[in-house]
Structure 1
Amino acid sequence: MTDAFEIFELGDVALLSGETLRDAKLAYKTYGTLSPARDNVVVLPTFYTGTNTRNEGFFGPGRAIDPARHFIVSPNLFGNGRSSSPSNSAPPQDGPRFPLVQMWDNIAAQHRLIHDHLGIEKIALVAGWSMAGCQSYQWAAQYPDMVQAILPFCASARTSPHNFVFLEGVKAALCADQAWKGGDYDAPPAAGLAAFGRVYAGWAFSQTFYRNGLFRQLGFQTIEDLLQDWERDHVEGWDANNLLAKLATWQAGDISAGPLYNGDFEAALGAIKARAILMPCTQDLYFPPEDNEIEARHMPNAIFRPYDSPWGHCAANPGNDPGFTAQLDANIEELLTE
């Protein structure tokens, strides 16, 4: 597998905010072959710091999602540097002038790709980690007759107030760098990006993870080693405006936003026809299981199935917690064989 991807040209896209995303582009990659009955489609959106390449850790030969049996479509989130983003958009929507793109807008664009361009009428499963899981809820609420099953893991249908505040913290760390210059930086704001990564590391893993020294299983001798790695990853791997554009999408996350439900969150959950397994990690610090438990009460076909792991939100990162991976595959298999 490679970093290759395709581009679906969307043209000018009217956004939920009332703005227009000009000359919009949706990056995506497909894996496997569409069955003659066109009934083996699995959609894997991307997570916050993810791309379609990173999603390749969630499927493979012999896995519950297998390119030998499934046609996998992995669309990239707006703002991730592959789809339209602050870093690749032309003026006047470059950098900090990139408009707010909400979950609704992302899924509307993905629907155009999958339904209009690829000619697919039914999706067997939409699944994903973190922001990708948030998109699975959005898919099921926005196109309830198209989506047959969803499996959001370490995600939620609406960004909670506490989650919003966590994101304000990492944003503030980035923007405090004098080199930030309101987003019109001459060179990457390295100190701000490093601070962003260092603060984020405190939320990505649980208290138990640090208490029990599980960072050593990742090859780090000390906590400082881990923190410096997270700093390097954000300085070397991410454009600051892209991070903040996706962060704004995350903060605005709410499946009831838009003309279908007009802010009625319970109605949006109740309209989801898809079979669902909601799989939070019990020690996730910003997508706690309580949010999913509440959601499941209002979804007609949802199973609430939390998984306990000291890895916290990063239990879902491929390779971290084999038990989580095994349970994830079992849950996916259950949904795809019903």
Structure 2
Amino acid sequence: MLEYDTFELGDFPLRSGATLRGARLAYQTYGSLAPDRGNAIVYPTWYSGWHWNNEWLIGAGMALDPERYFIIVPNMLGNGLSSSPSNTPPPYDRARFPRVTVYDNVAAQHRLVTEKFGIDRLALVTGWSMGAGQTYQWAVSHPDMVARIAPFCGSSRTSVHNKVFLEGVKAALTADDAFAGGWYERQPAKGLRAAARVYAGWGFSQAFYWERLYERLGYSSLEDFLVGFWEGFFLDGRDANNLLTMLWTWQNADVGASPGFGGDTAAALGSIKARALVLPAEKDLYFPPEDEAWAVRHMPNAELRVIPGVWGHFAGFGANAEDTRFIDTALRELLAQ
């Protein structure tokens, strides 16, 4: 699970104008590449996630079956495995790590896919949350390369409301005196715990809490869930500067910012050639179905299919069997087309 490979990007220019020298992209693969290289799937990671967190949707008999497909899971820049504030030497270390866009992430992944594996056609790109944003970006950046996309619980453009939420996470992380402007010697634990509490009100829906579904996850009370799940999640190997780097990426995500579109998100979506199955969750507070319905209206070959239920954004986390079956079934149908 913890094993992975690294693709050396060398001196990697970013959209911000900075160059990340000695950049590297961590990734894991599942399955074998077919002789014609036609069975490749890219499945990017999400905010704070690592490649092994994607494995719940990969397996024998599932849509993403490694016996049939070659599945590449690239780790986002900033997640601690790929080039990040926590592992980059000076001068771009820690608080000086440069701004990274979703476009930059996909540019790095494209180099991995083409240079390392010689792949010129992808059967599918899919992903959850920020992975969904990267999925949209793949289809915009490389329209002739991507046959199908299935972004779930994510968006092509971060909404204003979503940006407001992220300001709360940012404020919690940086308010801890131990943060020291990003030059801390130890993790700002109070800030990480506070960020977890901010996140807790958004990751799952109001109905999830009303029905006390956290008990199905093995937590004996609300406070047990807030500490055991949420605070535990943020304290489990996550670095504050890494989180802030990925937060900036999320906050500034917009396929309309891709070269050639001048900030026109609708035009960027209209350029997508891939067959698209867009899967928002019914009660997702970050990426509500209405936002993705807007995106689908601007895409030439897209279907909206809402994941039902009360698990909110974490419908795409693999936390319950019903949502996993829904997503897996949708991917299976899309791959069959």
TM-score normalised according to structure 2 size: 0.98
Q: Deviations over 1:226-284 (max 9, x none)?
A: 11121132123201000000001101100111322121111100000000111000101
> Quick check: 1:39–1:122 contact (8 Å CA) kept in 2?
yes
Which residue of structure 2 lines up, in the alignment, with residue 263 of structure 1? Answer: 263
1:165-195 CA deviation, whole Å, 9 max, x = no partner? 1011011111111111110112110000011
Alignment gaps of 5+ in structure 1: none
Give secondary structure in 1 for the equivalent of 2:28: strand
Q: Which amino acid aligns with 1:221?
A: S
Deviation at residue 321 of structure 1 after TM alignment? 2.6
Residues 70-118 of structure 1 show CA distances to partners (whole Å, capped at 9, x for unaligned) of 0001110000000000000000111010000101100001000001221
Q: 2 CA distance for matches of 1:266 and 1:247?
A: 24
- 1:224 and 1:327 mapped to 2: Cα distance? 30
Q: Which residue of 2 aligns with 1:43?
A: 42
Aligned-partner Cα distance in 1 for 2:134–2:190: 31
What is residue 30 of structure 2 aligned with on the other side?
A: 31
Which AA in structure 1 matches 2:136? Answer: Y
Report the 3-state secondary structure (helix = DSSP H, G, I; strand = E; otherwise coil) of the residue aligned with 1:276.
strand
Please name the residue that 2:280 is paired with: 280
Question: Are the equivalent residues in 1 in contact too, given 2:141–2:258 (CA < 8 A)?
Answer: no
1:101 is matched with which residue? Answer: 100
**Aligned equivalents of 1:322, 1:54: Cα separation in 2:** 16
State the match for 2:299 in structure 1: 299
Q: Secondary structure at the match of 2:255?
A: coil
Verify the 8 A CA contact 1:280 1:289 in the aligned structure 2.
Answer: yes
Residue type at the aligned position of 1:77: M
Shift of 1:42: 0.8
Shift of 1:309: 1.6
Amino acid at match of 1:202: G
Give the Cα–Cα distance (whole angstroms) in 2 for the partners of residues 47 and 182 of structure 1.
25
CA contact (8 A) 2:307 2:315 kept: no
TM-score, reference length from structure 1: 0.98
Any idea what SS the aligned residue of 2:315 has?
Answer: helix
Q: Deviations over 1:284-321 (max 9, x none)?
A: 11111111000000100100111122111111111x23
What whole-Å deviation, never above 9, does each CA across 1:146-175 have from its counterpart, x for those lacking one?
Answer: 000000000000000001110110111111
**Counterpart amino acid of residue 297 in structure 1:** R
Q: Distance in 1 between matches of 2:262 and 2:12?
A: 21
CA shift, 1:332, in A, is 0.7
Instruction: Output the aligned Cα RMSD.
Output: 0.9
Amino acid at match of 1:153: F
In structure 1, what is the Cα distance between the partners aligned to 2:234 and 2:116? 34
* Alpha-carbon distance between aligned partners in 2 of 1:43 and 1:57, rounded to the nearest angstrom: 15
1:20 and 2:19 aligned: yes
- Asked if the contact 1:42–1:126 (Cα under 8 Å) also holds between the matched residues in 2, the reply is yes
Alpha-carbon distance in structure 2 between the residues aligned to 1:49 and 1:21: 20
Counterpart position of 1:323: 322
- After the TM superposition, which parts of structure 1 deviate over 4 Å for at least 4 consecutive aligned residues? none
Q: Aligned residue for 1:136?
A: 135
What are the within-5 Å matches in structure 2 for residues 209-288 of structure 1? 209-229=208-228, 230-288=230-288
| Kept in 1: contact 2:13–2:19 (CA 8 A) | yes
Instruction: Number of aligned residue pairs: give it.
Output: 336
Amino acid at match of 1:315: A
Structure 2 unaligned segments of length 5 or more: list them: none
